Structure 1
């Protein structure tokens, strides 16, 4: 069952009743879609732990990349271990606090986002139809809307997805509907609408995929989505509470380290340069340096779905225990009181990593601790995913006995 809902980029840097905290979608994506439907149908109107941990030296880690024999092709080994999850740094938002001790087990992770070419193979092999390609389903749409919201007519329920369209000039950052639009016909093949194309972008991250789509791909590929803890551990690349995935400086020695708006676009967010011709978007995977584990684009380029339900207070709940939390799988439900107009218990999954739209004025979500909650049926032009695989799953899939298994480095 599929449906479509409005979305925004990550929320503004400065928290307010109108904008919400960084790493959060801000006001309801659902309400933006609803506004689109109402417009079409007028008859319906009725960081880092502060000071305490300063060791930021590059970890002495050798990347272990799978080759199809000694590990899954296209995946890197993440050794696991104990780390401080979340952040107490000045720029950290409430949903990132407090930093708390977590231990994760070792796992394999895709070296980069799932690409357009890889997703195409899945679709061709299975005939799968994504959420964005289906007419919105009222049952999955209404749970994100205020109780009693009337159902729109069938003529208004058209397949499509949320697309970043930008603005012609500077605007208030309080109203995301100025730069996001629900576009009929937008989907993974046409991420900016029916006239757009992914031709020549086989090695870009696939976007306009929902959590449901990512789960379907994972099942087909024999993998799974990472937990939130696994994702953050992998994104940190062995660094202790660094501000960014690569260290504490945004552009060390003037070098751009990720595909984010800051440093990539000449004009302030969300202004689209006429000269650029709307070129803002994803970049080829691996365009920027990989971290110590061999993982590219852990932050920037496209947001990434992870497995956990989103609770704004999850880190506070985890930090209430004095022990190290072992391999957490996340909460059993969703809870987000900071999304006006959306029921606090509306289903949301965690998304991580930020995207090409993140910038210092509006979104600082290209930090390993930044997090937000997103409706699992939401598809957007800056949202994709990558997958993980447990070592035992790889060993079993290749018929290795306990004695024949290839050892991988562990902590």
Structure 2
């Protein structure tokens, strides 16, 4: 037995000598990684700044005392997430849901690829020869909820059919029909997608909980989330009593005229789900191209990151453009808000404006003040500035439903546009004046605002 163990050890040692390292410590190289600026984002170089109110606390909230903090570098969306960008998310969930229903329909009726019609949307493993690993475990249905068909490939190659004139057979018709509201709920004979069926499911890993409770197993800090992803268009009615806003309810998210306007009616939980989907969507493409590292997760910014980015490198400024005035030297308003005691049109906009409107700040970020307020990934704690860290500060209590909202909106007075002003909304509440933008941590060679002075 000893001879056998010695032989195994010798073989293992010899096998390790054929890697060309000549017995030297050369390290294990990872996959290819080149810092890549995500589409539509700008790099915000890390640095220190004075966070909090630069001027008198007019509202006497006493919730943002000045404090020097430091944040690391990150990418941030140059604009708020727009209707057309968010629709890419909702339509991906819609298409995934229909593909799953078609695949199940084909499976239940013995249809396979090559048989035509619905059979062309059958699970791909019905035609291809899956590898041993593919047969063992597949992470294929992130976002679709419990299906009972986990471990089987959806067919993404076939183009979905949405024109009823082209539906190939009764099986496709049944799956297609199940996506729409019942006939009795149709308006003027027009049936629309049942948005309650557009549900995105994803996993959340609570790293802080894991770090502070080393005795826990992985399953104890990983949870599943299910989120209805469609924006609540009724916010245009519910947010304002005795006000005629039906045109915005009817058209704002649907109509192409509003494609480049910021999405609203999205609560904090939906914004978090969008970030998770965007990460998965980006990484799925990178994995298909092979040998590429996954990108850092897209996420909501912390309060500190948001304020640092909003200031655009200007120290102790009242607004992203400096201050202390909301007009420029030509008398034009610098943002979309509620000026002049309620003259909404004075800034050339009654509601929202296109996301790339007005002048960007010095980090090339548009509408960090005004247009729509923005969710941040921080709980609202009035006294947070007193005890939060000075390095990448964040206070996020899972039990606190009040989440930070920054920047002010088209319906707010100028006080809420100040970069130091803090506000909040409940995480399950959607509003016609709250949207969001995402960030992604920068990894690689350090980039700081004061690098040139070192």
> Which residue does 1:390 correspond to in 2?
441
Residue number in structure 2 paired with 1:250: 326
SS at match of 1:163: helix
Structure 1 residue 262: deviation in Å? 1.3
What is the TM-score normalised by the length of structure 1? 0.57
Could you say which structure has the greater relative contact order, defined with CA pairs below 8 angstroms and 6 or more residues apart? 1
What's 2:85 paired with? 118
1:316 is displaced (CA, Å) by: 3.2
Aligned counterpart, 2:249: 193
State which drifts further: 212-221 or 94-103.
94-103
Q: CA RMSD in A?
A: 3.3
Distance 2:60 2:315 in 1: 18
Given the alignment, which residue of 415, 421, 432 partners 1:370? 421
Corresponding residue pairs, total: 263
CA contact (8 A) 1:164 1:179 kept: no
Per the alignment, do residues 406 and 311 of structure 1 end up closer, same or farther by CA in structure 2, a change over 3 Å counting?
Answer: closer
Choose the corresponding residue for 2:385, options 307, 312, 315: 315
Deviation at 1:101, TM superposition (A): 1.2
Check conservation: 1:310, 1:333, Cα contact below 8 A.
Answer: no
- 2: CA distance, partners of 1:75 / 1:304: 16
CA distance in 1 between partners of 2:270 and 2:44 (Å): 25
Distance 2:237 2:448 in 1: 42
Q: Which SS does the other structure have where 2:249 is aligned?
A: coil
CA contact (8 A) 2:73 2:442 kept: yes
Match of 2:367 in 1: 297
TM (normalized to structure 2)? 0.52
Separation in structure 1 between the aligned mates of residue 241 and residue 423 of structure 2, nearest angstrom = 21
Is 2:69 the partner of 1:102?
yes
Structure 1 residues 171-186: aligned runs within 5 Å: 178=241
Q: Could you tell me which residue of structure 2 aligns to residue 353 of structure 1?
A: 407
Runs of 5+ in structure 2 lacking a partner?
1-33, 98-193, 198-231, 280-297
Answering whether residue 293 of structure 2 is matched by residue 236 of structure 1, we say no
**CA offsets 1:292-331 (integer angstroms, 9 cap, x no match):** 111111110001000001112212334xxxxx71001214
State the partner residue of 2:337. Answer: 260
How far apart are the structure 2 equivalents of 1:258 and 1:164?
Answer: 24
- What's the CA shift string for 1:143-191, capped at 9, x where partnerless? xxxxxxxxxxxxxxxx7643368xxxxxxxxxx964689x9xx9xxx8x
Query: Which residue matches 1:219?
Result: 276
Question: What secondary structure is seen at the aligned counterpart in 2 of 1:368?
Answer: coil
Query: For the residues of structure 2 that align with 1:117 and 1:206, how far apart are their CA atoms?
Result: 8
Give the unaligned 5+ runs of structure 1: 1-67, 136-158, 166-175, 274-278, 319-323, 335-344, 393-404
| Cα distance in 2 for residues equivalent to 1:333 and 1:349 | 10
1:208-242 deviation per Cα after TM superposition (whole angstroms, max 9, x unaligned)? 10111101110111210000000000000111111
Q: Deviations over 1:264-308 (max 9, x none)?
A: xxxx43x778xxxxx721101121111111111111000100000
Distance 1:214 1:179, change over 3 A: farther
Structure 1 contact 210–377 (Cα < 8 Å) conserved: yes
Report the more deviating stretch, 247-256 or 309-318. 309-318
Larger radius of gyration: 2
* Greater fraction of residues in helix: 2
